[in-house]
Amino acid sequence: MTETTATTNYSGSIRRLTLDGREIILLGTAHVSQASVDMVRSVIADEQPDTVCVELDHQRHKALRNPNHWETLNLIEVIRQGQAPFLCANLALSAYQKRMGLHTGVRPGAELAAAAEEAESRDLTVRLIDREIRTTLLRAWRKAGFWKKMSLLATLLAGMFEKQTFDEEELARLRESDTLTVLLDELAEVLPTVKTILVDERDLYMANEIRHAPGQRIVAVVGAAHLPGISARLAAPSPPPEVIAELSVIPEPGRFGKMLQWLIPAIVVAIFVIGFFAGDMSKLSSAALGWVLATGSLSALATALAMGHPLTILSAFIAAPITTLHPAIGVGFVTALVQAFLVAPTVKDMERVGEEIATWRGWWHNRMTRVLLVFFFSNLGAALGVVLAFRWLKDLL
């Protein structure tokens, strides 16, 4: 492979590679502005490639093409299928990117959307080369330890609700890369043990997609931060197919995690059984009352903080003592469904969710995101209640 770097300017850089007799033009977007969008369109028009590769996955591409895609979301079905946690994470990422767009003045991913649109308008082949963001995040989550996961959750929560200000140096850093790359780089700092998954694996995945793209001339539009990694991967020999296939595999939850889900309920049930056969019914009833009050009250209080409907708050109090003993059904599943039925999101809520998630007030104001807050907060309250309840349960031993 031969390589030349053609230009580097205020809006990006171009690297020309020759690989197996084909010309590959790597275009690194380096300015989240209209200038970057114009440059992408200009390069595609000038180079007239056979294929345009874009640093997008199918989900992000669909969202960019249809900013109103939230309007068709069936929230109740999402909850029933157990996809509420992923939807929460997806909205958190969207909120982060939305706020970055407010500071830089351009809709996040505008230059990537422009690349796909320009290629389609010229009847060129479009190839979406980034790995599904859900796969990337799940691989990172599954391979992180417990405390690293807690750190990740804290980071996502802070990113959802904190009011951010940026000095000129930080704004310059934002303009030098796409917002998703900035976000994944920050997550890599929180979880250095999975930096390989968040950054390096994506470089390898995208390089492989570019390598196998059809045509003699290929333009690949990626974040400038990915240029060194992708170039190095293209310069190296093609990895075996099984290595590439493994990049899309979501690891199964660890055995310890599975055991822990059932271990706590098993311990609680065992303590109650021991108390029953010990014959001290006063302690047994006291512990049972403590369990109900701790898990139910804290879950209900947390649901109230999420501005849940009064009946949703009541459902949290009733369901938490039961669902905490059965890890397959979380209290959030119950409360989210109740909230969605009682305070169903309107068409206006669905239309405005993309705008309102950019502010912490918007999360509570929008009926759709309030359902997700109820889901998350009620689960958190129940978990804290379990910890508090053990104070009563230990007296039975």
What are the extents of the domains in the chain? Answer: 2-246, 255-396
pLDDT in tens, 29-83: 865 567 778 889 999 999 999 999 999 998 888 877 765 555 556 666 666 666 6
pLDDT at site 64 = 75
Put simply, whether the predicted model's pTM sits higher than 0.85 gets the answer no
Of 102-111, 150-159, 200-209, which has the strongest mean pLDDT?
200-209
pLDDT at 135 over 80: yes
Of 5-14, 79-88, 371-380, which has the strongest mean pLDDT?
371-380
Q: What is the 3-state secondary structure (H, E, C) of the chain?
A: CEEEEEEEECCEEEEEEEECCEEEEEEEECCCCHHHHHHHHHHHHHHCCCEEEECCCHHHHHHHHCCCHHHHCCHHHHHHCCCHHHHHHHHHHHHHHHHHHHHHCCCCCHHHHHHHHHHHHCCCEEEECCCCHHHHHHHHHHCCCHHHHHHHHHHHHHHHHCCCCCCHHHHHHHHCCCHHHHHHHHHHHHCHHHHHHHHHHHHHHHHHHHHCCCCCEEEEEEEHHHHHHHHHHHHCCCCCHHHHHHCCCCCCCCHHHHHHHHHHHHHHHHHHHHHHHHCCHHHHHHHHHHHHHHHHHHHHHHHHHCCCCHHHHHHHHHHHHHHCCCCCCCHHHHHHHHHHHHCCCCHHHHHHHHHHCCCHHHHHHCHHHHHHHHHHHHHHHHHHHHHHHHHHHHHHC
pLDDT band of residue 9 (cuts 50, 70, 90) is: very low
pLDDT at site 24 = 95
pLDDT band of residue 275 (cuts 50, 70, 90) is: low
Q: Specify the higher pLDDT residue, 347 or 174.
A: 347
pLDDT, mean of residues 233-253: 89
pLDDT, mean of residues 21-31: 84
The pLDDT mean for the chain works out to 77
pLDDT, mean of residues 13-34: 83
pLDDT in tens, 144-179: 666 666 666 666 565 555 555 544 455 455 545 555
Percentage of residues in the chain having pLDDT higher than 90: 28
Do 287 and 273 meet the contact criterion of CB atoms below 8 Å apart?
no
Single-letter code of the amino acid located at 286: S
The structure tokens listed for 337 are: 């469904």
pLDDT at site 167 = 47
CB proximity list for 156: less than 8 A, separation 6 or greater:
89, 92
Of the listed ranges 41-50, 69-78, 247-256, 266-275, the least confidently predicted one is: 69-78
Please name the residue that has the structure tokens 């200009």. Answer: 42
pLDDT at site 171 = 47
pLDDT at 11 over 50: no
pLDDT at site 168 = 44
pLDDT, mean of residues 105-130: 86
pLDDT band of residue 228 (cuts 50, 70, 90) is: confident
